[in-house]
Structure 1
């Protein structure tokens, strides 16, 4: 049952919660927080709490600085690392204009509106992310290599307690906040871990991912470790992906499932996948938003580099996992391009928008790739009609800038801000002189 704001006020009183943190995020996906006292809760729910939006990345223009935060009572939870006595609660917030209208720049608003358009067609959008991150012994410092907390690999049982105790504590905190975890294990890289969240509607999942990142970083600090969701923190090790399973339901029925069809996939599912593929280059700047993201994609450690789909093919951008014929809810598609540093609201909105475009326009799904795509030659890939993903942020921006679909999904203000912000990032990166350049060139010329 959805929690009403009166229930939140009562819970705060009963649990002696002394502070309530109002959480929201900027366009890049960085978590922002404002603390209020219980005495201000009623005002927060009915009127909103004023903030200076001009100081937040992409939230508003300087001449429209006044914004309001209105907390969503359904998201209230206490923060377990703050203790049970005189504790701290948190709620996710919607960002509003002074008139009380949804702010066009609020990433949560972007996702809610795209989901609303799907709901108008009777479709509910569910997501299930597999979130990877690294744990290091100490913060990064220039000139000093990163030191992962272990040297273990995929699914390894690490005998010293660090990683296991870490995951146990994180999962305990998440579940106390009503965020359900499905699996957790050590990943391929040294010090790399994965924790998978259970299926939820996409808005809840995006809220949960912001909370997840915070919990992981808080637990790491408490254990004298440092957590990083950077897409590619070490050049010779796997990057941090966030493979995400997507499905659409209508009146409790999985519309991706069709009994007897190849792989159990309905025509709707095939059109949805076709939309993901056709617009992949256009939304890449949202699923892979940093210069560093493309070092993961093209880093030759199992990240998808080419725009194709396949049945149980882990080299494909979109994978159709094995489904259980007797369990119709198991039919889904897995998008493998996302990295752990994406803004989940914008990334999930783009994936839904692209998939819905495929359904609405009745896109035809090309042949699936059964071979390991990385091992094919360029000529073989061209013959199969398999195009590469953008090789860097600049090329991703070129495709994004020309995309009418992305401008429609995001709205003008978010679309324009991303263009400015990411062009600035690319310019800063391009102007740097790196250590590799000095090592390979300085003494030669």
Structure 2
């Protein structure tokens, strides 16, 4: 037993923790949980705990259902919303096969494998997400539009506003769970908020995002509100994205920084961006995995629908933020396409894989887009060589199906399940008759 595991067992005893929840994530990004008694933890660390993997989306087939969850002691935290008496703690888990080998369908393992490839190339991948979401007054009722918690706008300061109280409570709870927050503010839509997490390695960030979603929902309920990470819950209002700043480090050195280069961006950084652009369409089905995602992408309001990069250009897919003199370690690029409802493990795995491909293959970075890409005509964008992101989940699926990069990064089982599931989602959506169609056509046709 290692020191971290010993620390967990000692802390559980000292704090009188009665329940330990083992968390893991299915292929679609849904958080799963099983509770274990503290007395069972020592064997859970050494042997894991068996469960029926066929009951979880994308994990395994019925005839090979036996799987094992083994907790990662480094992720131990008490759940702040459960109180101090007879407390509850959680740990993220790795999913194993009965022989102890990693399960190919484990999202966390997919990211670990991608990060190992980065480490083999000498890099550590860091990420910093800006997570947007909406708060509504009541649970959703079918056929009725959701009612936002407030009518405030971007950066609005509302005296005695519910959003202030909510964000303060959410940040306090996140910090109690060891998750550092950098900024928070009201976003552009009514009831829309943004909370930005501090930079961390990509695996820690993915774990933090899964915790973040749970904390936000728990705090919202305490404030008689309901949180949603749906990409585009309100027509005519901004969608909720997860703009993610990324960088590669070689040891303690930022591999994206080169003094004197344009925007202080190194050749490594330029080729990383080129990799993101070349593979942007084929990874969209994962970074934007829902039917509703493409209503955000193609809904304007600074959503990045076109495959281009720019310096401080918020209409571009990839943005190079303003360089701050003397802060070379903070050089980074911002990827603006991700939904806050994506599976962060799979999304980060594909981002680093695409960027590394650009570095390894020596991709050339195209000229930057200096104008508002949304303001250009289709002909102007074509003349500049600016491609489009997929306009629908169906188009994204077709691009993913042809991608060697995505297949290699996700592995056969995740790749195949993900495609099957998304095709089913698109089929279900296509079969619906929407209120838009009824309102527009029923009486006049």
Shorter-chain TM-score range? over 0.9
TM-superposition CA deviations, 1:361-420 (whole Å, max 9, x none): 000000000000000000000000000100000000000000011000000000000110
TM-superposition CA deviations, 1:160-192 (whole Å, max 9, x none): 341111111111111111100000000000000
1:212 corresponding residue in structure 2: 212
Q: Any conservation in 2 of the 1:259–1:325 contact (CA below 8 Å)?
A: no
Q: 1:153 to 1:3 in 2, by over 3 A?
A: farther
Query: What is the CA distance between 1:125 and its match in structure 2?
Result: 0.3
Query: What is the CA distance between 1:143 and its match in structure 2?
Result: 2.1
1:10 corresponding residue in structure 2: 10
Q: Any conservation in 2 of the 1:3–1:73 contact (CA below 8 Å)?
A: no
2:41 corresponding residue in structure 1: 41
Q: CA RMSD in A?
A: 0.8
2:331 corresponding residue in structure 1: 331
State the SS of the aligned residue for 1:185: strand
Q: Any conservation in 2 of the 1:229–1:340 contact (CA below 8 Å)?
A: yes
2:378 corresponding residue in structure 1: 378
2:234 corresponding residue in structure 1: 234
Q: Any conservation in 2 of the 1:137–1:225 contact (CA below 8 Å)?
A: yes
Q: Any conservation in 2 of the 1:53–1:65 contact (CA below 8 Å)?
A: yes
Query: Please, which runs of 5 or more residues in structure 2 have no aligned partner?
Result: none
- In the alignment, does 2:353 pair up with 1:353? yes
State the SS of the aligned residue for 2:296: helix
Q: Where do residues 190-201 of structure 1 align in structure 2 (5 Å cutoff)?
A: 190-201=190-201
Query: What is the CA distance between 1:30 and its match in structure 2?
Result: 0.3
**Structure 1 stretch displaced more, 357-366 or 55-64:** 55-64
Q: 1:141 to 1:10 in 2, by over 3 A?
A: same
State the SS of the aligned residue for 2:68: strand
Partners of 1:42 and 1:384 in 2: CA distance:
60
TM-superposition CA deviations, 1:174-213 (whole Å, max 9, x none): 1111100000000000000000000000000000000000
Q: Where do residues 17-56 of structure 1 align in structure 2 (5 Å cutoff)?
A: 17-56=17-56
TM-score (norm 1): 0.99
State the SS of the aligned residue for 1:4: helix
TM-score (norm 2): 0.99
1:263 corresponding residue in structure 2: 263
Q: Any conservation in 2 of the 1:153–1:188 contact (CA below 8 Å)?
A: yes
Q: 1:230 to 1:3 in 2, by over 3 A?
A: farther
- Runs (4 or more) in structure 1 with deviation over 2 Å come to none
1:294 corresponding residue in structure 2: 294
Partners of 1:307 and 1:251 in 2: CA distance:
31
**Structure 1 stretch displaced more, 8-17 or 295-304:** 295-304
Q: Where do residues 11-410 of structure 1 align in structure 2 (5 Å cutoff)?
A: 11-410=11-410
Q: Any conservation in 2 of the 1:264–1:325 contact (CA below 8 Å)?
A: no
State the SS of the aligned residue for 1:18: strand
